[in-house]
Structure 1
Amino acid sequence: MPQAPRLRSTGRHMRTTVMTSNRNKWIALLIACMLVIVVGFGGVVALRMRNNLHTQELNISNYKDGLENGALDILVIGSDTRKGNNGAYGDEDDRNSEARADVMMLLQISKDRKNVSVLSFPRDLMVDVPQCTDPETGTVYPAEENVQINESLSRGGAGCTVATISKLTGVNIDHFMLVDFNAVKELSKVVGGVQVCVDAPIDDEYSGLKLPAGTSTVEGEQALAFLRSRHGFSDGSDIGRIQAQQGFLSSLLRKVKSEGTLS
């Protein structure tokens, strides 16, 4: 019997295995390239964040023993430095002066992480400052009585403010966060503004804060002005400003916790 002719695999339907193999190779290559890009981008972001964070010694005083430990205690310090990018907020004398602690808030977070208590300290509060040693220069600042609390930052850095608050409260502080004017502006921009509410119009020529009565969203320069303003609230004292600062912080925390803000 004559043999049947052999069929040659020339049609597209006969090359399915080869085409699938090539397609899988291209998909795998594309995924590999995407992973390289993502990992590289993540590394750049992580490096940038690391370069933007600076650490300092927590407590640079001789007052460290016998302090009470809370669940988690964090001291937030707002610096009024006019150096570097903050030079626009003062004159030449301001730029050449030492930084002071314009804002001091002690945050105590409960063990179950469900409650946060905030204690603010007026910058004009007169306190006893312990001996502090500048960790960079080795300069020793002797202990003094009846010193304005915001001066503690100029006695070796944030570690002396931490020590001063610890001495005043008897609380062992676990961490501190030091921010300047520009950090406040950028943070308010990142979250898309912070909602605040005032019961009367504000036009403070000293801080530049201008707000209508009722609810407003502040960010950037206006957010900074809101936190710095003294004459715009209550009797113009630091007590009224503290109330505004705590209200701002509460609103900021609600915004961060809200759905979609972190993402």
Structure 2
Amino acid sequence: MNGMTHRNRIVISALLLLLSAQIIFGIYGYANMSNVRESSLSFRKNYMISQLEFNALSAFKQVDTYAVHLKTREFTSFSSRFLSLGTAAEAEKALREQNEKINRLQINADLLQSIYLLGADSKQWNYVHFFDGEAQDLSMVLWIDDLNGSGIMEALAVKGTGIPIYIQEGELQKVIHKKWSYVSEQQLRRVSAFARGLEGKWIINNGVNDYTLGLLVLSDDFPQQLLYESELEGYHLSIYTDSGIRTWGTGSL
């Protein structure tokens, strides 16, 4: 009986050692799997951030290239010339040539929604181009003189030139005022309608070049170009201003 008991103890001890080893290896394996999973998630996040930085740099370089072109005399000459003082045939020819030059830029409609090249005053012609197929309503397009007389030029200049800036809803509307006595109510209405079209948008203010103000309005879904669709799975991309205002996102607020 004693021999049997001794053998039983040996068997039981062996089983306990085996079970302990399995538990230890199981814990180690689980911990190792967790480390592998965490490492994989960390790699994916780092890869996504690197890809986001690369995509953002590429997209902004492309937009910056458009902005640089639109500041040159080749494009500003349309609005700096006194086309309103010429014949209808001259104006039509100039508009056709301007459209051809814009088309040669092959602007990506996923990046830019519209461009404005605004002349100094009503003796000059403005140029507006929408890349999303929206009809061009020029009835409310205005001149630099209107923007100066209503305080909007200062508001745009304060935001900065040559860089993407976000115009909050109501931000321009609240600063509109009759700066000079000769500013008419019709001018203020034009300015108000124009300001509403810029609010809630990311824009690039090219500043005044050759008596022409250039404004580029970025597409509403411009940030979508920064991520590939497959990279969005499980993640939300949000764009904030430097003051913490959320302007775009793939997820809910």
TM-score normalized by the length of structure 2: 0.32
Larger Rg: 2
Greater strand content: 1
Higher relative contact order (CA 8 A, sep 6+): 2
Which structure carries more helix by proportion? Answer: 2
